[in-house]
Copies of this chain bind each other. A is one copy, B any other.
Amino acid sequence: MTLAQALFAPRAVALIGASGDAEKNSARPLRFLRKHGYAGRIVPVNATRAEVLGERAWPSLADAPGDIDHAFIMTPGDSVERAIEECGARGVPVATIFSDGFADSGAGGMARQEKLVARARQLGVRVLGPNSMGVIDVPGRLALTVNAVLEADSLPAGTTGMISQSGTMLGTVLSRGAARGLGFSRLVSVGNESDLGVAELLELLAEDPGTKVILLFLETVRDGAALAAAARKAHAAGKPVAVYKLGRSRLGAALARSHTGAMAGEDAALDAYFRDCGTVRVDQLETLVEIAQLLAGRAPPDLARIPRVAVVTTTGGGAASVVDRLGMHGIETFSPDSKSPIVDLTMKATPAQYTGALDDLLASPECDGVLAVVGSSAQFHPQLAVEPIMQSRRSAKPLAAFFTPHAEASLALLAREEIAAFRTPESCADALAAYFSWRSPREVAKGSASWPRELPKRGRLDEAQSLGLFASLGITVVKHEVAGAPAYAHAIGYPVAVKALSADILHKTEAGAVRLNVSDRTAFDREVGAMLRRVSAKSILVQKMESGLAEAIVGYRHDPLVGPVVMIGAGGTLAEIYRDFALALAPVSEEEAVSLIGKVKGFAMLRGYRNLPRGDLLAVAKAVAALSRLALIPGQPVAEAEINPLIVKSDGAVAVDALIVMKE
């Protein structure tokens, strides 16, 4: 019996705490399992009743007969611990815990949860939850859940799997999909992820032959490395993964923390993470529901050109609402007739002509995807346009449909044919844009880096140490020397920059510990004297004054959720105000750094904008790639590193300010 079988296809389930009161949540799993036709054995466990909703019940798991593959625990308080003991004694391989009061309820609950899981490990019991709403296998007719969405008389079976950190939202997606014929395979509410987490479940769904595409609803990422590895496995198995992740705003992050005790994480880092893992991040809930068919069976397009979508329609106004938003995503349209951006079919086109037009466009090397926009006929006359779409040839290129009216029957027709159809113009355009920005998982850059023996491994490094480490990584750093008391002699040519050398001064400029453009020795002596009266430092860092065309900021950070990330941004106060930067998981190659730099708007100034001189962005890319190699140092001991600024010249780029903070 594999873990997947025990979770999703148990031959017998025990319902621990099954209620005989049909109105109670704890009566639901029994009702739902029966209603949806579960074929295995159901074993209610109830301390006080010998019968539950007409089913024979046992006072404890120990008394129940036969092998149990999966226990569903609903009892309150410390009876959960007892139930886990009984699972261990009976050799039950998986227990799903619906009961709450663990990590979801503060520090005490967290300690209780850790103890529970440690004991379950000893006993050989895998745990889903606590605070999990359960497991559903639609084709397998397993409704082992308290989720009220199973009140529905039937749910369409399909090939879309889902893992959700919110039990409610799992029901939401299932309910909304069902209303328009979108079927699902296996769905899991993960609860607190004390043992079985999103990553391991993603691997299980990636291995499931009945699942073609996997949706994730996330509020946090609890094990970034494991989830990244699972996402890569899903990609290798040809199973696209779409992600909806909350906590994008500060308000949303605060709510996630207050409700789950988990951090939402910095959204820009998560965005880079999901992209670099080969997953497709969506911004709207409806897009999560609707994008499945657009991704299923397809690979990341990894297009080198601006994507071109052919929009086929008989309704200009309907097409316009999608096309306008496609344009906002930077997508272009393709039309064989250069007079209009769209392919206008007259109302007189026969169904065969309609299908032919779609097939021709899908076959055209000029076009990267096809969108059919259908007007009122989608509601009342599916034979005119909806059926011709169903007849079109399947292609590696995406085919999407947007119906302008309320047309659930037609949406269901396309769902049955596994053709992506969209309810709103925005979800449609956003899904196409998400598809086109989908990339294969990034190859992890090879190579190694080592920590120079002479440097400390904890605390803040001083700036000379930091510059030394950056130089050892291959970054061009400013010419500098450490000048010591009493003479503060140095051989750097004037003008120079003078800095007090101390890891303890956090804001050097504000503290008066930096003087720029010191022109000669007399000025140098005067400035050093004055500086050492203001701040305490043993030595002075003397740097050659550098100037260039513009400034950049290059950063490295060990993100608590997703691990090492590298950041590149335009320098200066304005760029900081505009938050003009781009992130990627570290390390990155120079080529990847070039594409990252392409996302920083302000660098347009260095690309020949309005005849301004061009900056050496390749040198910037080299610095980004070099700094990102901090991630290759064994143990990844660096918490944060920054070059601010990196002076960008027409030939080269020089780091003039360096910061390194260790994790410990």
A contact set with B: CB distance below 8 Å: 147-149, 151, 164-169, 171-172, 175-176, 178-179, 217, 219, 246-252, 254-256, 258-260, 283-286, 315-321, 323-328, 331-333, 339-342, 375-377, 379-380, 404-406, 424-426, 510, 570, 572-575, 577-578, 580, 601-602, 604-605, 609-612
Contact = CB atoms under 8 A, between A and B. Distances in A.
Nearest to A180: B406
A280 to B, nearest CB: 17
A166 B320 contact: yes
A342 B254 CA distance: 10
B169 A321 contact: yes
Q: How many copies does the complex hold?
A: 2
A325 B247 CA distance: 9
Given A151-B376, A251-B324, A251-B327, 14 more contacts: A151-B380, A164-B317, A166-B316, A168-B375, A169-B318, A249-B324, A249-B326, A251-B323, A252-B328, A255-B323, A255-B341, A258-B340, A573-B605, A578-B602
Contact of A168 (B147, B260, B318): B318
B175 A379 contact: yes
Nearest to A247: B324
Contacts of A610: 573
Contacts of A247: 324
Secondary structure type dominating chain A contacts: helix
Contacts of A252: 320, 323-325, 327-328
Contact of A148 (B176, B251, B319, B376): B376
Nearest to A377: B148
A260 B246 CA distance: 40
A37 to B, nearest CB: 19
6 contacts: A175-B406, A248-B327, A251-B332, A252-B323, A260-B316, A286-B426
A341 B254 contact: yes
A354 B376 CA distance: 40
Contacts of A318: 166, 168-169, 172
A137 to B, nearest CB: 19
Contacts of A424: 284-286, 424
Contacts of A578: 574, 578, 580, 601-602
Contact of A375 (B171, B317, B319, B332): B171
A320 B315 CA distance: 37
Contacts of A340: 255, 258-259
A166 B324 contact: no
Contacts of A320: 166, 219, 246, 252, 255-256, 259
A284 B380 CA distance: 25
Contact of A316 (B255, B342, B604, B605): B255
Contacts of A167: 317
Contacts of A377: 148
A155 B341 CA distance: 35
Contacts of A149: 376, 379, 405
Contacts of A426: 283-286, 426
A575 B574 contact: yes
A113 to B, nearest CB: 18
Contacts of A178: 406
Contact of A179 (B148, B375, B406): B406
A597 B602 CA distance: 22
Nearest to A283: B426
Given A175-B405, A251-B327, A332-B251, A317 B219 contact: yes
Contacts of A254: 341
Interface centre among A251, A572, A609 (most CB of B within 10 A): A251
Contacts of A315: 168
Nearest to A427: B424
Nearest to A423: B286
A406 B149 CA distance: 10
Contacts of A379: 148-149, 151, 175
A251 B331 CA distance: 9
Contacts of A259: 316-317, 320, 340
Nearest to A251: B327
Contacts of A611: 510
B324 A255 contact: yes
B319 A255 contact: yes
A249 B602 CA distance: 21
A249 B325 contact: yes
A298 B222 CA distance: 44
Contacts of A602: 574, 577-578
A17 to B, nearest CB: 17
Nearest to A319: B255
A246 B324 contact: yes
A169 B323 contact: no
Contacts of A175: 376, 379, 405-406
B168 A404 contact: yes
Nearest to A176: B406
Contacts of A405: 149, 171-172, 175-176
